[in-house]
Structure 1
Amino acid sequence: MNHSIYSADRTTHLKIVVVALVAGIAVAGFGISARVNSDESYSQTARVIKAGQPVTVTSSGTSVVR
């Protein structure tokens, strides 16, 4: 068993590449299937946010010592 990636032989490197490729395909497939089955069906709606009354923020900058 190789404990270092630098001293690993060719088959170990190939195994690592294959496992990474399969994991990447699985993650991409899960992401695509989750997106295709969404309930929104690619419809977008515009939402309007209206401003309310203006607010004044003040601070005195002094501390109260009792």
Structure 2
Amino acid sequence: MNHSIYSADRMTHLKIVVVALTAGILVAGFGIAVHNASDEGYTQTARVMKAGKPVAITSSSNSLVR
């Protein structure tokens, strides 16, 4: 068994390419299947945020030393 990709024969390279393509197709198919199964669909709705009552925020830079 040869452990170097540089000195591997043509059949070994072909096997590696086939396994990589199969894995890529499976990952892409899984991603498409999960994406289409979402409940949101293709419609988008705007979420409206309404302003509440005004709030006054004050800060004091005085430090209390006792």
Q: Which moved more, 1:43-52 or 1:14-23?
A: 43-52
- Quote how far apart the aligned CAs of 1:48 are: 4.0
RMSD of aligned Cα (Å): 2.5
1:46 corresponds in structure 2 to 46
Q: Which has the larger radius of gyration?
A: 2
Q: Distance in 1 between matches of 2:5 and 2:56?
A: 63
| Aligned length, in residue pairs | 60
Residue deviations 1:29-56, cap 9 Å, x none? 0011001111111121223456785868
Deviations 1:13-41 (A, max 9, x none): 00000000000000010011001111111
User: Which whole-Å CA distance do the structure 2 matches of 1:42 and 1:25 have between them?
Assistant: 24
**Following TM superposition, where does structure 1 have runs of at least 4 consecutive aligned residues deviating by more than 6 angstroms?**
54-57
Residue identity over aligned pairs, in percent, reads: 74
Comparing 22-31 with 40-49, greater Cα deviation is found at 40-49
Q: Which runs of 5+ in 2 are unaligned?
A: 62-66
Alignment of 1:1-66 (within 5 A): 1-49=1-49
Structure 1: give runs of 5+ residues left out of the alignment: 60-66
TM-score of the aligned structures, taking structure 1 as reference length: 0.69
